[in-house]
Amino acid sequence: MKNKTEKAAKTLNVIGLDAKKCQQLADGLNDLLTNYQIFYMNVRGYHWNIKGEKFFELHVKFEELYNDAAIKIDEIAERILTLSHTPIHSYSEYIKNSKIKEKTNVSDGKAALIEILESFKIIITKERELLDLSDEANDEGTNSIMSDYVSQQEKLVWMYSAYLNR
C-alpha cells in the first residue's frame, strides 16, 4: 500500500493536482492568455481611435473593457504559475499563436463592437474548454476563475449585441 501512495504522490504537483493534467491546463491557460493579450491591445486601440457621435459612450466602455482584460491577464498568468508552469510573456508568441488577430486603426464604433463580439466568441469557447479540463483535473481554482469569466462575458456579449440591435 505504501508503494502506491508514494507513486501517486510523485505525480502530484505542489498544490496536490495531477502534474500531467496541470500541464494540459497550463497549456490551455497560456492559449487563453495569448488571445487575451491581443484582445487587450485591440480594445486599447479602439479606445484610443474611436470617432463619431458615440465617442463619449464607447470611449468609456472600451476603457472599462481593457481594464478588465488587464486584470484577467494577470489572474490567468498567476494561475499558470500556481499550477507550477510559466506564462507566455512575449508579444511575438502572442501574435504567432493567438486566434484573435491584431486589428489596427479601427475608429468606427460598430466595427469595433463587432470585432469585440467575435473575440469574445473565441475567448468564451477557450474558457469553456478550460472548464472541462479543470473539472477533469479536480482543479477548483481554475474552474472557479473560468466559471466567473464565462458568466461575466456572456452578459457583456448580450449587452453589446443589444447595443448593435442583433
Structural domains counted in the chain: 1
107 domain residue, yes or no: yes
Digit-coded pLDDT (tens) for 24-44: 999 999 999 999 999 999 999
Residue 10 has what pLDDT?
Answer: 62
For the segment 103-125, the average pLDDT, to the nearest whole number, is 97
24 domain residue, yes or no: yes
The three cell numbers locating residue 48: 484610443
Mean pLDDT estimate for the chain: 94
| Full domain range(s) for residue 78 | 20-163
65: domain CATH number is 1.20.1260.10
44 domain residue, yes or no: yes
Residue 7 has what pLDDT?
Answer: 53
Digit-coded pLDDT (tens) for 148-160: 999 999 999 999 9
36 domain residue, yes or no: yes
Cβ-contact 23, 85 below 8 angstroms: yes
For the segment 93-111, the average pLDDT, to the nearest whole number, is 97
Is the pLDDT at 137 greater than 90? The verdict is yes
Q: What is the pTM of this model?
A: 0.92
Least confident interval from 1-15, 73-87, 118-132: 1-15
Strand partners, 108: 51
At residue 61, φ and ψ (nearest 5 deg) are -60, -40
45 domain residue, yes or no: yes
